[in-house]
Amino acid sequence: MSKTMNSDFIRKYGVIFGLGGIIVFFAIESPQYFFTISNFMLISKQSSINALLAIGQMFVILTAGIDLSVGSMAGLTGAIAAGVTILTGSVFWGFLAGLAVGAGLGAVNGIIVALAKVPAFIATLATMSAIAGITLIYTQGQPIWNLPKEFTFAGQGEIGDIPFPIILMAIVFIIAWIILTFTKYGRHVYAVGGNIRASRAAGIKIKSVLISVYTISGFLAALGGIVLASRLGTAEPTAGTGYELDAIAAVVLGGTSLFGGEGWIVGTIVGAYIIGVLNNGMTIMNISPYYQEVVKGVVILLAVMLTSFGKKFWNE
Amino acid sequence: MPILRVENIHKSFSGVEVLKNINLGIEKGEIHAIVGENGAGKSTLMKIIAGEYEPTEGKLFINDEEKHFASPLDAINSGIALIHQEFSLVPQLTVYENIHLGREPSRRFIGIEFVDKKKMKRETTEVLSKLEALHISSESRIRDLSVADKQLVEIAKALSVNSRILIMDEPTAALTLKETENLFTILKNLKNHGVTIIFISHRLEEIFEIADRVSVLRNGELIGTKNIEKVVMEDVVSMMVGRSLKHRFPEKVKHNIGEVILKVEKASSESFFKNVSFELHKGEILGIAGLVGCGNSQLGEAIFGLRELNGTVKFEGQNLKIKNPTDAIKHGILLVPEDRHTLGLVLQRNIKENHALPNLDFLTKLGFIRSKREKKSVLSTIGYLNTQVRGIGQRVETLSGGNQQKVVLGKWIARSPKILILDEPTRGIDVGAKFEIYKFIYDQAAKGVSIIIISSEIAEILNLSDRVLVMSEGRITGELDPKESTQEDVLSLAVKRKES
């Protein structure tokens, strides 16, 4: 009886202790630079793009799918937002175009998975490649710069001393939390991932749920892509490359099951912060970026092994 | 000296005892039948003998030598082979590759080990000829073979590792009459060569045809072992169902049977059933009996929209086309599926969420869940069905079978059903919970709900139903009045085969 409680407990809260442990470690190593409010603000800002992508990714993973295209999606939508802004002279139309393309291509992912029944991994691997190509075609391989000041607000602006990307992350997090916890739609997402056949037998429209989660993922990838372009002040033709891996890592670190049906959105945010804190802390400690990648890989592996080991241990 | 003996075997799954103190000896070279109702523990006992489960308690002897099987491989090495209803063959591989799977003979060539295909094919032909099954080519792919031939390949595979004890779980369930006769010839032949065969079947007349002895299991206990010459079918049936038959079912509750609510005409679905017509009345309990694979389950699923149904369905006098479960649910036609794990529940979610899943239409407002209303609905259902739970936040995978089934039933009664289709409603659950589910069925009928019970447990169907239809090979082979019918009447209709 208490055994299952313990395994749930580890799965759910283990990641928070993990983040705490990493923070304590860096705080001891570098109290004067790492453990400061301004540095935490910086970490939040750095984590925000990954968090946006990861929240979208989580919807997809909850249905037992995966979205590998979010990195290139962020790249393309950032470029489109920048391009349309310059074309129309209006940031509003620029951002709207970026978001619409993100949601639209996300829906395409969903249709391929739900209607053509291509496995999510292959479907989004294909669209990842195609979207990266479209970005290169659209930008002609050149960065788009000379963007108006309003464009850079999304990534560089502040509202009352708080950087705008952090506010955006918080708003998206709260909305996603409400959707997953309190709505009929959220229940359907969990149920479809947990047991697709039982969900169908309960009268749930499986296809619309599947299409919608990829649409959400595409939309949030676009939001992340716009923030990225805005923070850099240019839209790079290869921006976002590899971002899907950090997003998936954040979701998995957060305890969401890759088999679907189980996951806690707070875990996803904490997972994104773990990756952010590691990057930041290691940079402060002057660890070479080459080694940083290795350490990150090892930490992700350890964390996931610990939670699954914990689960087994308590269940026996 | 028996070739195989088990002593004081007990087995529990998460606290539920499914085998109690089993003592059984199997003689060398006999065909020993194991019978019992669904959930009696036959398969569990066989899996223990074949090393798939470890007993909670008890000992196992082969030739008077105590054995501990930690895995099926241990059992295979001791000469025991279990042939499942679902075969353990790789469909994409050939017959000879399957027979040698995992122990491919090899030949050295320029210092490299190569698979010795010639030897594999030769050995395969040898063992197939022993079975007089040379019509199967050793180079055919398994997926191209008929069910009967696949079964022969399984037997060949077992013999090629020198299995001396062959356990067959319902080997005839999917065979035609002719294939069954062929299989029996082979089994008798093997027996004459000293192979011991343990044979599980629901078809009692088969047992009288082929077995030397029969053991009866009921509710996890071994009721007895008899020489087949010394018993008649009625004895075996009464051993299977027990004398306490009266106490297994609650008092009948009077319920009024009204006008026709559902009329199915000439319904067919793929190869599962054909030309099925019947009527269901308001407040009626209609039993659809049949052996595993007769198509009654698929009929229930098709009415609920989980399968395509060709034919006409009239509901409350109107033609009704049900394309998917959503349509069926809208009309109050609800299915409690045979396999609650794949179709009934989302195991890793909790009771509350599972209960609410099909009912979110009336438990939400503008898409938001009305928690208070949801909680009330779950609690009142749990109370009505006497579901034993720690709390509504408990994951359903941690519940016992009976309580899981009550969660599935509860989902539907929360939305006042018109027709409840119950497919094997008491499979794999304990006697106490069974009793409560029977009471629930009577209660719903008294409330005017029409109920279709699909079951291969004949006693259950006969006791609960107002009217019984029997299916065999996808057709309705007869209608019975349960008050005037015996289990044998049902069985004889259930084994009725197509004249061909």
In this complex, the residue of B349, B364, B390 whose CB is nearest that of residue A261 is: B349
**B388 touches A at CB < 8 Å:** no
CA distance B95 to A297: 45
Provide, as residue numbers in chain A, all residues whose Cβ is less than 8 Å from the Cβ of B335: 201
CA distance B388 to A298: 44
In this complex, do A201 and B344 lie within 8 Å of one another by their Cβ atoms?
yes
In this complex, the residue of B343, B349, B367 whose CB is nearest that of residue A201 is: B343
In this complex, the residue of A198, A257, A262 whose CB is nearest that of residue B343 is: A198
Provide, as residue numbers in chain A, all residues whose Cβ is less than 8 Å from the Cβ of B398: 4
**B411 touches A at CB < 8 Å:** yes
> What is the model's pLDDT at position A314?
47
CA distance B481 to B473: 21
Mutate to test the interface with A, among B335, B348, B423 (most CBs of A within 10 A): B348
In this complex, do A194 and B344 lie within 8 Å of one another by their Cβ atoms?
no
For residue B290, the cross-strand partners are: B471
In this complex, do B360 and A197 lie within 8 Å of one another by their Cβ atoms?
no
In this complex, the residue of A183, A203, A261 whose CB is nearest that of residue B325 is: A203
In this complex, do B358 and A261 lie within 8 Å of one another by their Cβ atoms?
no
Provide, as residue numbers in chain A, all residues whose Cβ is less than 8 Å from the Cβ of B329: 202-203
In this complex, the residue of B326, B328, B353 whose CB is nearest that of residue A187 is: B353
CA distance B354 to A40: 41
CA distance B206 to A155: 77
Mutate to test the interface with B, among A195, A207, A258, A259 (most CBs of B within 10 A): A195
Instruction: State the residue for tokens 């990756």.
Output: A275
Which residues, at least 6 apart from A108, have a Cβ–Cβ distance to it below 8 Å?
A: A127
CA distance B359 to B349: 16
CA distance B98 to B143: 11
> What is the model's pLDDT at position B499?
59
In this complex, the residue of B335, B343, B356 whose CB is nearest that of residue A187 is: B356
Helices (H), B254-356: 296-303, 325-330, 351-356
> What is the model's pLDDT at position B319?
94
In this complex, do B367 and A200 lie within 8 Å of one another by their Cβ atoms?
no
DSSP A240-294: TTTHHHHHHHHHHHTT--TTSS---HHHHHHHHHHHHHHHHHHHHTT--HHHHHH
In this complex, do B347 and A195 lie within 8 Å of one another by their Cβ atoms?
yes
Domain coordinates in residue numbering, chain B? 4-244, 247-494
Beta strands B196-200 and B260-269, pairing class: unpaired
In this complex, the residue of A190, A205, A257 whose CB is nearest that of residue B326 is: A205
Give A194 to chain B, closest Cα distance, Å.
5
pLDDT in tens, B312-343: 999 999 999 999 999 999 999 999 998 888 89
In this complex, do A200 and B325 lie within 8 Å of one another by their Cβ atoms?
yes
In this complex, the residue of A182, A184, A199 whose CB is nearest that of residue B346 is: A199
Phi, psi of A30 (to 5 degrees): -145, 70
> What is the model's pLDDT at position B131?
86
Residues B59 and B8 sit within 8 Å (Cβ to Cβ):
yes
> What is the model's pLDDT at position A316?
38
Q: Is B257 helix (H, G, I), strand (E, B) or coil?
A: coil
Which residues, at least 6 apart from A181, have a Cβ–Cβ distance to it below 8 Å?
A: A265
Provide, as residue numbers in chain B, all residues whose Cβ is less than 8 Å from the Cβ of A183: 364, 367-369
Token output for A120: 């999510």
Angle at B51 between CA B50 and CA B55, to 5 degrees: 110
Residues B290 and B488 sit within 8 Å (Cβ to Cβ):
no
pLDDT in tens, A62-81: 999 999 999 999 999 999 99
Q: Is B128 helix (H, G, I), strand (E, B) or coil?
A: helix
Beta strands B419-423 and B333-336, pairing class: parallel
**B345 touches A at CB < 8 Å:** yes
Provide, as residue numbers in chain A, all residues whose Cβ is less than 8 Å from the Cβ of B304: 201
In this complex, do A201 and B337 lie within 8 Å of one another by their Cβ atoms?
yes
> What is the model's pLDDT at position A208?
96
CA distance A4 to B363: 29
The residue ranges of chain A whose pLDDT is under 50 are 1-5, 312, 314-316
In this complex, do B329 and A203 lie within 8 Å of one another by their Cβ atoms?
yes
In this complex, do A198 and B411 lie within 8 Å of one another by their Cβ atoms?
no
> What is the model's pLDDT at position A1?
39
Give B4 to chain A, closest Cα distance, Å.
32
Residues A61 and A256 sit within 8 Å (Cβ to Cβ):
yes
Distance of CA B100 to the CA centre of its chain: 30
Provide, as residue numbers in chain A, all residues whose Cβ is less than 8 Å from the Cβ of B364: 183-184
In this complex, the residue of A182, A197, A262 whose CB is nearest that of residue B343 is: A197
Q: pTM for this structure?
A: 0.80
In this complex, do B357 and A191 lie within 8 Å of one another by their Cβ atoms?
yes
Give B465 to chain A, closest Cα distance, Å.
25
CATH class for the domain made up of B247-494 = alpha beta
Mutate to test the interface with A, among B323, B341, B346 (most CBs of A within 10 A): B346
Report which residue type is found at B288: I
Residue of B nearest to A202 (CA): B358
**B134 touches A at CB < 8 Å:** no
**B356 touches A at CB < 8 Å:** yes
pLDDT in tens, chain B (500 residues): 889 999 999 998 766 788 999 999 999 999 999 988 766 888 889 999 999 899 999 999 999 999 999 888 899 999 999 988 777 889 899 999 999 988 888 888 888 888 889 999 999 999 999 888 889 999 999 999 888 899 899 999 988 888 999 999 888 877 777 788 889 999 999 999 999 999 988 777 788 989 999 999 988 899 999 999 998 877 887 888 775 545 678 888 888 999 999 999 999 998 899 999 999 999 999 999 988 778 999 999 999 999 999 999 999 999 999 999 999 999 999 999 988 888 999 999 999 999 999 999 999 999 999 999 999 999 999 999 988 888 899 999 888 888 999 999 999 999 989 999 999 998 777 667 888 899 999 999 999 999 999 987 888 899 999 999 999 989 999 999 999 998 888 888 888 776 54
> What is the model's pLDDT at position A7?
58
Provide, as residue numbers in chain B, all residues whose Cβ is less than 8 Å from the Cβ of A185: 367
CA distances from B317 to B257, B261, B283, B362 (A): 16, 7, 16, 27
In which element (H, E) is residue B169 found?
strand B165-169
**B398 touches A at CB < 8 Å:** yes
Token output for B493: 């209709």
Mutate to test the interface with B, among A184, A206, A257 (most CBs of B within 10 A): A184
In this complex, the residue of B348, B358, B367 whose CB is nearest that of residue A185 is: B367
The CATH code of the domain at B4-244 is: 3.40.50.300
The CATH code of the domain at A14-311 is: 1.10.3470
**B288 touches A at CB < 8 Å:** no
**B72 touches A at CB < 8 Å:** no
Token output for B171: 């080997």
Size of interface A-B (CB pairs under 8 A): 77
> What is the model's pLDDT at position A8?
65
Instruction: Measure the N-to-C terminal CA separation of chain B; round to a whole number of Å.
Output: 45
Provide, as residue numbers in chain B, all residues whose Cβ is less than 8 Å from the Cβ of A62: none
Residues B433 and B403 sit within 8 Å (Cβ to Cβ):
yes
Phi, psi of B143 (to 5 degrees): -60, -20
In this complex, do B346 and A203 lie within 8 Å of one another by their Cβ atoms?
no
CA distances from A261 to A64, A120, A164, A258 (A): 7, 16, 32, 9
Token output for B135: 């019509």
Give A197 to chain B, closest Cα distance, Å.
5
